[in-house]
């Protein structure tokens, strides 16, 4: 049975993550928001610290853990609190400090989660220490990942990749990119595979870096692949096309990354709630947890409703990560957590700006920045609408062809 308290063995690590967020990330938050595309050099020290904690077995990285579950595997019946829950808890604390800086951490990209989830043991060893971004979205393919047009053609002992990827987080700074491409467009989603492409591979070019509403300290790139030759052993998972489950191995990555993004949203929302609570207290607004909200001032009632939504998002996120640690299928719960947390972060941060008035809209506090940062958390790794569609299919027992 899941226990929703922070496990005792993680408490020291969570405290360390919070200290890093308070002393390193948040103090630099405004600077790197304004200095878009400038590399946050402070993160090199932080990455070395995270590597040291991971090597000692006392910590887990932001995106290094994965969901590795064999077909039909349900666990041994013993409750585990492992790397997925540890990653979620640490990400929550770090994004309390700054979401964009967390996304800029070396060797903690979303591509690292893909490698950790589906790579072979040999690949795990070979790509150890690599900073990997994830390249899925294309100009004509957003939420419908099955509509990918980037191609991968086998030529001897290499695959030749051709296509364009947009909105690649850390695409300019990373060491390698996990690229989703199709082996045969006519076979649809079954032919989609993922490839680890080192950034110095001939034929891979960074076309541009995007200017964005939020998470400005994180670089977001457009990548082009033209006759880009990738060693065949860099394909993640089986090279065979299985019409029944070929896409499942690639999609398994999301079982890991969606709870991570949910944790980012939960951390950002908590930061806004804490600052807003202090501002309301300074203004003389009293929060009374023993009285019905309709008997309290409007500002207090609004805050309590936001806090309740945050609590639900937090618990759903822990549940999705805990299920992954215990080798339980968590695709449904991962989508539920992502949908709830993404929307909650948007609602909470914007309403906090409103509650704080001019202080929330100005740069006196980070409230306006958190409102900008939170928007992407309801979009990437599957939009709000896509998550609701996935949940509906799971609950109703419908396929993607039956429920669109």
Residue 59 has which token pair? 């910590």
- DSSP 8-state secondary structure symbol assigned to residue 265: H
Between CA 27 and CA 237 the distance in angstroms is 41
The DSSP secondary structure of 39-91, one letter per residue, reads --THHHHHHHHHHHHHHHTS---SS-------TT----S-----HHHHHHHHH
Residue 99 and residue 373 in contact, taking contact as beta carbons nearer than 8 Å: yes
Question: What stretch of H or E contains 110?
Answer: helix 110-118
Within 8 A by CB and 6+ apart from 404, the residues are 389
Cite the active site residues.
381
Under 8 Å between Cβ of 229 and 310? no
CA distance 55 to 66: 17
Yes or no: say if 195 and 152 are a contact pair by the CB < 8 Å rule.
Answer: yes
Nearest to 375 by CA among 220, 249, 264, 301: 264
Tokens of 58: 């006392």
The answer to whether the beta carbons of residues 30 and 366 sit under 8 Å apart is yes
Measured in degrees and rounded to the nearest 5, phi and psi for residue 168 equal -90, 110
3-state class (DSSP) for residue 1: coil
* 3-class SS shares of the chain: helix, strand, coil, % to 5: 50, 15, 35
Residue 171: strand, helix, or coil: coil
3-state DSSP of 194-219: EEEEECCCCCEEEEEECCCCCCCCCC
Q: Which of 137, 215, 180 is nearest to 386 (CA)?
A: 137
């Amino acid at each position: 049975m899941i226990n929703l308290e922070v496990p005792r063995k993680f408490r020291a690590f969570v405290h360390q993550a919070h200290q890093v967020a308070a002393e390193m990330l948040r103090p630099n938050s405004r600077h790197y928001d304004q200095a878009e595309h400038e590399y946050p050099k402070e993160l090199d020290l932080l990455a070395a610290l995270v590597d040291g904690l991971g090597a000692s077995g006392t910590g887990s990285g932001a995106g290094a853990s994965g969901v590795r579950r064999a077909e039909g595997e349900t666990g041994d019946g013993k409750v585990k609190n492992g790397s997925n829950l540890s990653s979620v808890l640490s990400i929550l604390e770090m994004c309390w400090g700054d979401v964009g800086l967390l996304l800029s951490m070396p060797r903690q990209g979303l591509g690292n989660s893909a490698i950790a989830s589906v790579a072979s043991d040999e690949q795990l060893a070979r790509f150890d220490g690599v900073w990997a971004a994830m390249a899925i979205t294309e100009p004509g393919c957003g939420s419908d990942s099955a509509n990918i047009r980037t191609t991968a053609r086998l030529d001897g002992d290499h695959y030749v990749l051709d296509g364009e990827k947009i909105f690649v987080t850390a695409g300019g700074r990373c060491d390698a990119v996990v690229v989703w491409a199709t082996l045969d467009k006519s076979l649809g989603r079954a032919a989609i595979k993922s490839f680890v492409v080192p950034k110095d591979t001939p034929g891979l070019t960074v076309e541009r870096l995007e200017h964005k509403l939020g998470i400005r300290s994180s670089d977001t790139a457009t990548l082009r692949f033209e006759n880009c030759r990738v060693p065949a052993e860099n394909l993640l998972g089986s090279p065979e096309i299985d019409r029944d489950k070929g896409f499942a191995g690639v999609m398994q990555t999301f079982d890991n990354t969606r709870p991570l993004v949910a944790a980012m949203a939960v951390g950002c929302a908590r930061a806004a709630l804490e600052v807003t609570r202090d501002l309301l207290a300074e203004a003389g607004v009293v929060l009374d947890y023993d009285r019905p909200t309709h008997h309290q001032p409007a500002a207090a009632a609004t805050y309590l409703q936001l806090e309740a939504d945050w609590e639900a998002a937090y618990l759903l996120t822990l549940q999705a990560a805990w299920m992954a640690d215990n080798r339980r299928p968590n695709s449904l719960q991962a989508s539920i957590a992502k949908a709830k947390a993404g929307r909650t972060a948007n609602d909470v941060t914007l309403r906090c700006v409103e509650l704080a008035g001019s202080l929330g809209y100005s740069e006196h506090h980070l409230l306006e920045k958190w409102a900008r940062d939170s928007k992407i958390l309801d979009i990437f790794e599957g939009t709000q609408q896509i998550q609701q569609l996935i949940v509906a299919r799971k609950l109703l027992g419908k396929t993607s062809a039956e429920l669109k």
